Structures are given as structure tokens and as C-alpha cells.
Amino acid sequence: MLCGPWRRCRGRPEEPLKSARVAAPLELPPSSPECGARRPGLRALKKMGLTEDEDVRAMLRGSRLCKIRSRTWHKERLYRLQEDGLSVWFQRRIPRAPSKHIFFVQHIEAVREGHQSEGLRRFGAGFAPARCLTIAFKGRRKNLDLAAPTAEEAQRWVRGLAKLRARLDAMNQRERLDHWIHCYLHRADSDQDSKMSFKEIKSLLRMVNVDMNDMYAYRLFKECDHSNNERLEGAEIEEFLRRLLKRPELEELFHRYSGEDRVLSAPELLEFLQDQGEAGASLARAQQLIQTYELNETAKQHELMTLDGFMMYLLSPEGAALDTAHTCVFQDMDQPLTHYFISSSHNTYLTDSQIGGPSSTEAYVRAFAQGCRCVELDCWEGPGGEPIIYHGHTLTSKILFRDVVQAVRDHAFTLSPYPVILSLENHCGLEQQAAMARHLRTILGDMLVTQVLDPQNPEALPSPEQLKGRVLVKGKKLPAARSEDGRVLSDREEEEEEEEEEEEAEQRRQTKQISPELSALVVYCCATPLRSLGPGPDPSQPCQVSSLSERKAKKLTREAGNSFVRHNMQQLTRVYPLGLRMNSANYSPQEMWNSGCQLVALNFQTPGYEMDLNAGRFLINGQCGYVLKPTCLRQPDSTFDPECPGPPRTTLTVQVLTAQQLPKLNAEKPNSIVDPLVRVEIHGVPADCARRETSYVLNNGFNPHWGQTLQFQLRAPELALVRFVVEDYDTTSPNDFVGQFTLPLSSLKQGYRHIHLLSKDGASLAPATLFVHVRIQGS
């Protein structure tokens, strides 16, 4: 019988866990390349409930699909779903390492039918749209444009991938972990006899990123070898996996609250929730969690939670570090645009460097898929009266302005319904400016804002809610301020003229006047040079937008902190990277957010901590690309200065406990095991910026334990981002990046939490997690 007396917990959750050290091995995430290198059997797909699906069965058999890369490069290749259901193997002309012949279902951003990619629109004319599909990936991996032999075969891949992605999204963390470990289990079964020798077990341990002591590993092996024949099979293998995946630190935490009967009653679970600081903790809430996460039906009937149910809860989104209430749109969206941080991209059209990299409409699609709401269009004179977009005076390739506007129409509102701003850097003559205006009107139609929403108050900026589904044009408007020789300057020129940058003379020669047709489309985002911050005869207007280089914005923040903050309450400010960043490197956006700059534009094509911060800032509020600025950046009488934020108001304490199933960095080297350390970084006002890290754990990426406490004093917690980073320690060279997760401090939940790690490109590394205890105390 599972029911038992309710006992008070004997410890407090703030106490460090004493026996969390685990001597078991490391696991690789489902994204590990080795996972699909060998066909591991149908167990994984059976667990996904898709073994009888006709589309999936066709994918398992494989298809010869034509890969299309240019007008002349069309190559037939074999593509086949691996039996893990997580990866697709593909043929290459020149064989490479196994990991180079695979892509993973969880890394797919979208599957498009027909000629719905730039590549197929340009190069797929010889293939019927019904036979074509495009697989778009997260991160920087290029699209895969394919043509099937028949329309039906193309549909099988479109439908099959949709089912696999849906099933993968629906899997909970425990199911992902089970799926993942069995994939490696069958990979390690070298003779595919469904039995595991000790040698094969050692191979499994190396695959899952742990270098376990031979004596300990053999003892664990023999404890499961009940048949005493030096082979594990059936139930013995499952027992070995259970022991391998044990979480002693969670068991200890569970037993603090469950008492001697080793089950949690609803009142005991409620006490845990209260100690966690869970909002809305109640007996009814505890009962609901038991019904949701408990796996044992008998326990569920008696309103009890077992250790397995407790682990399911802590590994779920409700047990994660990010407040689930903040994952939907929860902020007030009825305030003026100036009151929001707005996710913004610089040189959006580029997929690589700004000197010789390719330009592509796909870069806009990817930016929108990452929640971007302000994109840049560098417009230049093109042949045949058609304006083009590229990085002027460089070797970057060129794309048509009208194609970019079509991409905006088709993809701008897929992820977020809130307004998109097109930031025009205009280098065209009057005739092609008129063509730009014509394309904007005819392609975008009613999406385009062409007149003020409130004629009674034309100078007032509307809210994101009022502008849902609408596109705004940012650019010059007539009548406009003119330079000494009477010409209208582009946004960038105004700033480069003030900063006396080298390319000013060339830019000046290229500048043309603004056409009335294009000027008429600039309604709420009129590009205007920033002359001064203080009050004067020409006060700032809400519909004016100033574009500043990162250098100018930093200077204003440091020298005129509160004045710049107040300026950004009244009108929009766009900040862009210095032109000297030839490789499209980024700057830290945090310093600009500290002073309330709304449109902090980054190179979305360049991964790094800067884009991690951007993703963390816009992770909340439904990832809609708009985040309400803190009160201190919105109140008209605010005295806030990011350079002088006052005394510490908040203490953040993070106890880094353990990690689980960290990815193997070099999948082609079985003996390459990570030595992980954890660093916690605070990004906020200068006085709050800090980083602390743990020691490293030798040769264990499967379940390393630290039990170390890191503490931070914060003066402006409402602006702070917290970044959790895992690195592979190296004594002779810089540490290698393993994974990270960034979120606003205001969205970080207290108590025992799992942090679900992301790759450099922002893709999930599931089932890789950190397990921490968080405490946030106000002064």
C-alpha cells in the first residue's frame, strides 16, 4: 500500500545537499551526432508511437531526392530516416565522419512545401512545385532545397517530418532521456545481439560522456548481471540504465519532505512548494501536480507522489528556472512604442560577414523566426529600374528589394502578431525610391501603415496592440532637415557626419533626395538626427527616430545618463554596430538597454554571448519581440542613471548542484570526455556586471557534481540578465563552450530548478540540464 502518515520535512530547501555526489557516467544529448551513426532498432520509434505510420515507414526505407544548390548544381542523394526517429542520414559524394552525414529533427525550424525558399524560387524552375520541399534549420545551417521523384513522395516527407517534430515537441524530459539513452545503448551493442558485454558497457559510458573507474563500472555491471554470464540482457539492461540514471541529489531532496514512507502526500508536496516560493501554492495546486506528473496509478488514486513523479515534475517546464507565467504575452501591450525594448536586427540581409558574405531573403525569414521586429534594408540603385539590397561598396551579393518585401509579407507575423519596423537605409535616386514605395504598397497592402491611427492626436505613438499585424516604415520624411548643400542625408550619414567617419565623403556623393512617394509612407518612424538631449526650442517629437552608432550611444549613456534615459521615454532610438566590425561581430546590447534605447540592432547571423543576451531579453512575453521597459525607464520624472544606480537592493544566491547529460564536444573521439565547469554571469548596469564560476569536474559530462555557492549583489535588478554557462575546462587553451541559458532576473524562479541548456545557435541540447538552487532576497 502506498499511502502513509504525513510527516513534516526534516530539512529546509535552503540547506546544501550533502550527498549529491554521483560516481556514474555522462550522457550525450539527442543532438549528438553519434546517435544516428548506426541503425539502433525500432524501440525508439515504437516509444514515439509512429512505427505503423505509412509516411514514417516510407522515410525509414529512404528516398532518392534531388538536392538543388544552383541553376546547374542538382545532385541526387539518398535520404533516410534513422530508426531512432531523431535523425536523418544522407549520402554525400565524398564520405566524411559519421556526424557529417546526419541532421536532427529537433534542429529543424520549418518544412516548406513547393517553391517557398529563395533557392527554389531562383533555381527550381525545372521541378514542379508539388515535388519540392525546403527544410529550414535553426541557427546558421543553410536550407536544404529538395525535389522528390513524385509529388506523393514529397508529401510523405513533409507529413512525416511534421509528425516527428510534433511527437518530439510533445515528449517530456524523462521520455527524451529514455529515448536518448536507448539510442546510445544500441549504438554500443557492437554485434547487435541485444546483449551487452562489459566491453560494450564501457563503450556506452564513453559515448555518453563519462570516464568511469573500471572497478566501479564493473561492480555496477556485476550487480545487474543476475544470470552471472558476463552479459546483460532484457531486464538486466534496464536495471543497469536505472542505476546509471539515478539522481542521488533529487532522492535526498525528496526524502527530506517524504519522511520514512518515501512518498509525498499532498500536504507534504504543498510544504515543498511553499519553501520553493511558488506563487499560488495551495493544497489544490499540490493535488493537481500529483495528477499531472505522477506515473503510478495507485499512488495517483491516493493523492501521493513517488520519487519518479517528483522527478517528472522537477524536469518539466513548471520545474524549470524560467517562470512559465512569463512564456506567454503577460505584459501590458497598450503603452506607446517608446516604452518597449524591441528586438532589432542590423544588416538583416546578410548571412555572413559584411565584406564578402552572401545576401539572402532567407536571412529575414530567420530573423523573424527568432522574434525580430525591426529589420534593416540597405537600398541601392539596381539594374532595370529595380532597387536592390546589399552592403554598399562591398563584395556582398545583391537581392531584389521587392523579394525582401515579399518575405516580410509572408513571414513577418508567423511567430509574433506585433508590428514590424522596416528600417530603410536609402541610397536610391528618386525614380527607384518611387519604385520602392510602389512595391511596399502593392505587396504589403493593408499591412502597411500609410496614415496615422488617431487623426486627433497625430504626434502620439500608438501601442503594439494597436499596431498588431502592421508594418511601419522608418526613413526620411519631407520636409526634412538638409545639409549645407541642400541634400537630404540618410540615417547613417547623419551619424557618420557627426562622428567624421572615413566613408563620409563617399556616402555624401551617393546621397539623393527623398521622393514624395516614399516620404508619404513614413508615418510614425521619421529618421531625424539627434542634435541634443536637453530641453530646447525644438523639443523631441514622439514620431522621430534617431540612429546612433554604438560608440555614440555609449558616450551618451556615460556622460548624460539620466538625460538620455528621459530622451528615450519620449522617442525611439536605434543603435547599430560600428562599421569597423568587418566580420559582423556584435557589441553587448545591455549598455544600450540600461539607458532605455529601444531598437538595439545586432547582427543576428553572428552567434555569441551578445546574441545570447538578446535571446534572453526577448525570451519572455511570448517571445513576441516586445518587452516592456522597467518602470524606472518609463516614468517621466525618473531620476534613474545607469552609471549611478544607488546602493545594492537585491542579493542573488545560486547554488550550482549538478549537471545532467552534457553534450560530447568531439563525437568522433570516443575517449574525449568533457571537464565541465559552470559560470554564472550578471549583465546589467555597470555596477552589477559580474561573473563567478565553479571549479571543474574531471572527465564527467554525464552527471558532474559541484555543490558550490555563487553570490551577487545587485543595484538595478529590474535590468539584470542572468546567464548560466557550461564550459569544458582546458589548462593550455581557452575553455570550450558546452551550453548556456540566459533569462531576465525578474523571470528567474526561486528554489530548486532545472536549467535546460542551449547550443551556440540557440538550439535545444535536450536532455542536457543544470540543477541549481536559487534564492533572491531584497534589502
* Separation of alpha carbons 591 and 550, rounded Å: 9
Q: What count of other Cβ atoms lies within 10 Å of the Cβ of residue 213?
A: 10
For the CA atoms of 176, 181, 184, 190, the dihedral, rounded to the nearest 10 degrees, stands at -140
Q: What count of other Cβ atoms lies within 10 Å of the Cβ of residue 650?
A: 18
* Separation of alpha carbons 767 and 173, rounded Å: 7
Beta strands 74-81; 87-90: pairing state: antiparallel
- Any catalytic annotation for residue 391? yes
* Separation of alpha carbons 247 and 250, rounded Å: 5
* Separation of alpha carbons 699 and 373, rounded Å: 43
Beta strands 144-147; 132-137: pairing state: antiparallel
Q: What count of other Cβ atoms lies within 10 Å of the Cβ of residue 613?
A: 22
* Separation of alpha carbons 170 and 327, rounded Å: 17
Half-sphere exposure of 45 (CA within 13 A, CB side): 24
| Best CA proximity match to 754, nearest among 772, 768, 737, 727 | 772
* Separation of alpha carbons 27 and 20, rounded Å: 17
Name the active-site residue from 346, 427, 439, 756.
Answer: 346
CA angle 692, 694, 695 (to 5 degrees): 135
* Separation of alpha carbons 325 and 645, rounded Å: 28
C-alpha cell at 45: 520509434
Residue 277 class from Cβ within 10 Å (0-12 exposed, 13-18 middle, 19+ buried)? Answer: middle
CA-based diameter of the chain, in Å? 93
CA angle 231, 99, 764 (to 5 degrees): 95
| Best CA proximity match to 45, nearest among 85, 103, 87, 88 | 85
Name the active-site residue from 391, 427, 567, 754.
Answer: 391
- Any catalytic annotation for residue 346? yes
* Separation of alpha carbons 684 and 715, rounded Å: 9
Query: Cα separations (Å) of 45 from 42, 167, 180?
Result: 5, 10, 12
Query: Cα separations (Å) of 266 from 254, 262, 305?
Result: 13, 13, 8
Could you list the beta-strand ranges (E) of 214-258. Answer: 232-233
State the Rg of the chain over Cα.
28
Amino acid at 97: A
Q: Do residues 16 and 277 make contact, with C-beta atoms less than 8 angstroms apart?
A: no
* Separation of alpha carbons 184 and 203, rounded Å: 9
* Separation of alpha carbons 134 and 570, rounded Å: 44
Q: Do residues 722 and 741 make contact, with C-beta atoms less than 8 angstroms apart?
A: no
Q: Do residues 136 and 143 make contact, with C-beta atoms less than 8 angstroms apart?
A: yes
166's CB contacts (< 8 A; 6+ apart) are: none
C-alpha cell at 515: 521622393
Residues belonging to the active site: 346, 391
